[in-house]
Structure 1
Amino acid sequence: MAEKMPAIVKTKPAYGAELVEVDVPKPGPGEVLIRVLATSICGTDLHIYEWNEWAQSRIKPPQIMGHEVAGEVVEVGPGVDTLEVGDYISAETHIVCGKCYACQRGQYHVCQNTKIFGVDMDGVFATYAIVPAQNAWKNPKGMKPEYATLQEPLGNAVDTVLSGPIAGRSTLITGAGPLGLLGITVAKASGAYPVIVSEPSEFRRELAKKVGADYVVNPIEEDPVKFVMDVTDGKGVDVFLEFSGAPKALEQGLKAVTPAGRVSLLGLFPREVTFDINNLVIFKALEVHGITGRHIWNTWITVSRLIQSGKLNLDPIITHKYRGFDDFEEAFELMRAGKTGKVVFFPKE
């Protein structure tokens, strides 16, 4: 094994990142070293690349970026008896304390002391990466690496779509970015009908159609609330799933959902949001869910089985594949421009 490896590193507190040579890490107690087979860009990685206000408050350069990963165990650290060299794994990227009140109740996805790969410690945009053994998820040998690396974000989509009944429910999805696209295929695989998608980007509206959306609306040119009411004969949708993080989309979705309907919110908003909560939530008796992370490990079981079932339409969502990291800047700039679905890197040996 080489002593050095290429890695995408946030080297300084400014826009962008650099591809640099770094030492191959050694696994400590309770850790394994993996050879990264595939790793994908998340919206969080884009925020770090752009160096937005959240990143400035959280990230401490220099630091290897990235947290979505699939890889092969190549070295096992002291005290690890649940994994061995050759295991094919993905990683739950939220490292939990196991001691706080949330963890004591089994609510690990809202651990009060959560740390995240590529956010609070070095990440996985590299040839090799460290994974705590407690965070490793063993994959079926036949699962494609590009699917295996999607399981972490797919878990977000699964928890958003399946936080309440969905089969046979009319559904509005706002935002057809990578997570919204994953939400579309999960909703369709779970029996939602019709699935209506509101998305301003023409590129992503076309992707939404390929993934299986029944109706797609451009909220810049049409009123999505009227569109929904026309499709549902004035009833409104049973389920509203918010993936965009756009305040206007949130308000439109709340107007479009039927009284006593279900709302699940995953998109992160850039600022405080103001809307008529009395008329749009309270008087409508809406059931509102905030979604974060993934339920450990229940969501992973669901995600893995959904992929193995063949019912998820994942290929159209993976729009860009890169061999190695040399063109990482192009990948990030395309994401910034809204011209990608999911972007996957396959590191070179």
Structure 2
Amino acid sequence: MPESDSQHKGRDGSVSAGDNPGQGRLAHAPADHPPVRRAKIGVLLANLGTPDNYDYWSMRRYLNEFLSDRRVIDYPAWKWQPLLQLVILTKRPFTSGANYKLIWNHDKGESPLMTITKDQTARIAERMAAQHGDRVMVDFCMRYGNPSTASKVRAMVAAGCEKILFFPLYPHYAGATSATANDAFFRALGAEKRQPAVRTVPEYFDHPLYIDALAQSVERAYAGLDRRPDVLVASYHGMPKRYLMEGDPYHCQCAKTSRLLRERLGWAAGSIDTTFQSVFGREEWLRPYTVQHVAELARQGRKHIAVMAPAFSADCIETLEEINGEIREAFEHAGGESFTYIPCLNDDEAHITALTAVIGENLAGWLG
């Protein structure tokens, strides 16, 4: 089929119609050949997820999906599901919903995690467009809730992404975070007739730009205080200690992040404490537990502390309500006098620079 004046050839050799520059027919294809979109590269960011609202049924749907994930709770289904469905999901949606209501972005009708992830995606998309034009499509998905991983993979393939870089926004690897996000991505690929080539971004807990972004956030926070905190607590999301013994590297990676952060700040040994929060169930989790540790600091006379959450790429229920609520209260009830929460990196300029650099490194060879 000869090209007309209203058509142009794409980078992949396809011919795109003038009224729809994103797709067209191959130059030598028969007239009834389906449209072929110009090839793109997709960058799909992934975060944990969020309920659609804080009402009972929205919370129940979200918690059911999250707590039914065998990467998160690996007990046998015959033992765990009756407890989950008949006990936990009867009560917990009410308490969790009340906590979400306290931090909800009521102006936009969404959780802070959703708002921040949208902002991060938009800023990264701007950076990628400045570097690569329309060759790269940037979007985000959630492991639990909406927008689902499957829906975004489908949208990218439909948009002509023949290669997709999947980026779980977890600086540290854990089976219950990075691995389950990758699981959902691979399942979504299984539904595609024409699978794109794919890569997954590994953990970046020791990336110099990530460490520098953390350090800058601490320096800004400390510069605004009248009194320097006695200690900085780096609170990471917890996991059962059993997972560490079974080979999960999360604990060691968290410890290294704290050490690299301390070295970047030029602080003495012992000035940053590494702790773990969000304990669930009866088995032992990684210690020390943040909520207990901050109370012990206060009882020891360390009345002024700062707390940050390096494992979270965006502020969420675990930081805005748990750290700045429950953990703050535990410190103050034990005699603590000043508690400074240092926000997550969110869409801070240094963080966007770090994330964009990680993406660029993992796109090597895909972009000329």
Does TM-score exceed 0.5, indicating one fold? Answer: no
Q: Which has the higher helix share?
A: 2
Give the structure-1-normalised TM-score: 0.31
Give the TM-score of the pair, scaled to structure 2.
Answer: 0.30
Structure holding more strand per residue: 1
